[in-house]
Each structure stands twice: as structure tokens, then as C-alpha cells.
Structure 1
Amino acid sequence: MAPDIVLGIPRGGLPLASAVANRLGVPLDVVVAKKIALPSNPEHAVGAVTADGAAWYDDEVIRRLGLDEGALEPERERARRRAEEKRDAFLDSRTPPTPPARPVSRWRFRWRRRRPSPNTRRKPTT
């Protein structure tokens, strides 16, 4: 059974999702998420939030650091606004398709670095 919509995740997933949506003849939409960072360290992610406000947290990190979700609310809202801005840029004033109430097809592509073969010889450093 074909999905009613295909969702692509930016930064690699949209070209593949677009090809799948075209092949199936269904609409394409994007799902944009941004990291929720620690207020004291913007490089340390403790969760993610989408443009519509759905949030996921790394419960282990939050527990280990003695935080609660309320303390992260300002950062969650900043990340949600950034995700909303990025989603709006992708939509370019088009109305997003309405997701169906049943499962959708979600596509993400991630590049993987190849590991050298165990038989590969390396030059000794001098």
C-alpha cells in the first residue's frame, strides 16, 4: 500500500524523498527539527524540536545534569522558531500538505565514511 504523503528530512533526505514522492505520485513535505541545546553550552544537544512544537529529550543527559524540561523551555522555544523559519523557507509560501492520520513514508539519507580495509597498508610516520 502506497503512503498518502512522503516526508523528507533536510540535509540529505529531500532529494531521495522527492524522487520517491514523484515515483509514487504523492505529495512531498519536509520535517524540520532543530536541536535543543544546554543554555550554558550551545554545542551540547539535550533534545530536538520540530516546527510544530513536538519535542524529544535525551532523558539520560537531563537526569545526569539535574535539569528539568521547564529549565530548557526558553531554548526549546528558540529552537522551535528556528525550525519554523527553516520550514517556511522550504515551503516558500505554499500551504503544507495535511499529514494523514495513518503512517507515512519517511526518508532520510546519511552519508557514511568508508573505513579502510584491514588489508590497507599505511605508511609509517617518521
Structure 2
Amino acid sequence: MGFEQRKFKRAKFEYEILYPTVLFKNDKKTFYDNVKMFTSDISEAGICLISSFYIPTDSFVSFYLRIDDNLPFKVLVKIRWNKLTGGYFTCGGEFIGLRLEEIYKIRKFIDKCTQLENIGHPS
């Protein structure tokens, strides 16, 4: 068993998600102030979420995402995996249908984070 090589670079990205909507089979539910959802890290292909509620595999989560000082944009994430960790649910998902402009915003953010991490760590 080898290590998993990711196709896209990831960066730590901690952001509170307000009013996420979960779509699963024929159900659609928007969560309000009684729940918590945060991001953990991001790549141009997907995102890791931490939530106070269970999100089933193969469901979709829709929410507004803001990166740096850019205007927020709506994303749709298909949940690929989930696990319970320390009383919270951690799940990984893949972005569905991002526009090229949105991918560039994410890519620019990741490149900036990577450059900051490399300062003081010469190769």
C-alpha cells in the first residue's frame, strides 16, 4: 500500500458556512443557526467540511463560499466520504460545476498559501 498522491494542491482553509442546504435523494433541507459547519481545507477540485450534523455520502451540499476579499459565490459539493471525529462529522467532497473564474480564485488562494508556507523553508 502506497501513499495517496493528490491530483491538486490543498491549502488549510477555515471558514464558517452559514445556512448550508443538503440535498439527498428527494429531500432538501436548509440548516439555520442551530447547527455548525466549517471548512477545513480546500483544493480546486474539492473541500473538506466539518459539521455538527451527519451528511450522507453521495448527498450534495450547497452554500456560499468566500475566498479572501472576493465576492462570495455559490458552490455545490458532492460528498464522497465522511467520518465521526471528536463529536463532529468530517466529510470530503468534490465541487460540481464550478466556473473557470471560481477555479482561478481558489487556485490563486492556494498558491498564495503555498508561498507563505515556503517562506523560511528553502528547498
Q: TM-score range by the shorter chain?
A: under 0.3
Name the structure with the higher helix share. 1
TM-score under structure 1 length normalisation: 0.27
Bigger relative contact order, structure 1 or 2, given CA contacts below 8 A and separation 6+? 1
Name the structure with the higher strand share. 2
TM-score under structure 2 length normalisation: 0.27
